[in-house]
Amino acid sequence: MPEQKITKILYDYKLEEFVKRLEELQNPSVYYVSDLIYCPWKRYFRLRFPYLTFTFEPLAVMGELVHRGLQGILVEKGFQPEYEVSRTIRVNNEEVIIKGRIDAYKPGELVEIKTSRGSTDSLPYPHHLLQVKLYMELTNVEKATLIYVSSDKIIEYDVKLDEPVLEKLLQETMNLSVAPRWDWECRSCVFYKICPHRINK
């Protein structure tokens, strides 16, 4: 029987990362950029059932490895990987912290890296564009690149921030006023089995 030594190293690494963030994942004042681009009910459930969000999927592991590789190359071009952004704002008489982690950043420029498994015909995906726009708004950066790496394509897009998106997305998330945000979301949602708002698409 193989020892699966490397798989265990990968698993322990992912689990350690998750455990480190566990407290913050349950902080009701923290809104991640990723909370704002998906169904608001995912955040609602995550605050209550954080352990349901731990996954160890080969696709996610592969995505992380691609990120690490490209980030390593971009570091040589002056970018900082996993650049953390955080802003505290007051909304509806409540103080909230918006947090995000940009794949690669240097003053005046940012890069968001995505891996894609399915058809690349409909790229760039709207939620990814929203994510990059949120980073642009949070950093005041005007030059942003969204790059997709798939098995048959490497394609990148320049993203423009035509109008601010943060406030609208934050209000929708705080008020749980959309469910889901995208019609494909429920079928891959970890909260599908406990969510009364799920749709079958």
Using the rule CB under 6 A, give the single segment among 24-32, 66-74, 110-118, 181-189 that binds ligand SF4: 181-189
Question: Does residue 46 touch ligand SF4 according to CB under 6 A?
Answer: no
Distance between CA 13 and CA 10 in Å, rounded? 5
21 token code pair: 């963030």
Q: Which of 36, 175, 198, 200 binds ligand SF4 (CB under 6 A)?
A: 198
70 token code pair: 């490209």
List phi, psi (to 5°) of 68: -55, -45
Question: Does residue 98 touch ligand SF4 according to CB under 6 A?
Answer: no
Closest distance to ligand SF4 from the beta carbon of 193 (Å)? 8
* Alpha carbon 63 to chain centroid, angstroms: 12
Using the rule CB under 6 A, give the single segment among 14-22, 23-31, 63-71, 178-186 that binds ligand SF4: 178-186
Print the binding letters for residues 23-42 with ligand SF4: x by CB under 6 A, - otherwise.
----------------x-xx
Question: Does residue 87 touch ligand SF4 according to CB under 6 A?
Answer: no
Which residues lie below 8 Å from residue 83, measured CB to CB, with a gap of 6+? Answer: 101, 102, 103, 104, 105, 110
Question: Does residue 186 touch ligand SF4 according to CB under 6 A?
Answer: yes
Closest CA to 111 of 66, 78, 87, 143: 143
Distance between CA 109 and CA 74 in Å, rounded? 12
Nearest residue (CB) to ligand SF4, 133 versus 198: 198
Q: At what angle do helices 166-174 and 126-139 cross, to 10 degrees?
A: 110
Using the rule CB under 6 A, give the single segment among 57-65, 75-83, 142-150, 177-185 that binds ligand SF4: 177-185
Question: Does residue 111 touch ligand SF4 according to CB under 6 A?
Answer: no
Binding site for ligand SF4 (CB under 6 A): 39, 41-42, 45, 179-180, 185-186, 189, 191-192, 195, 197-198
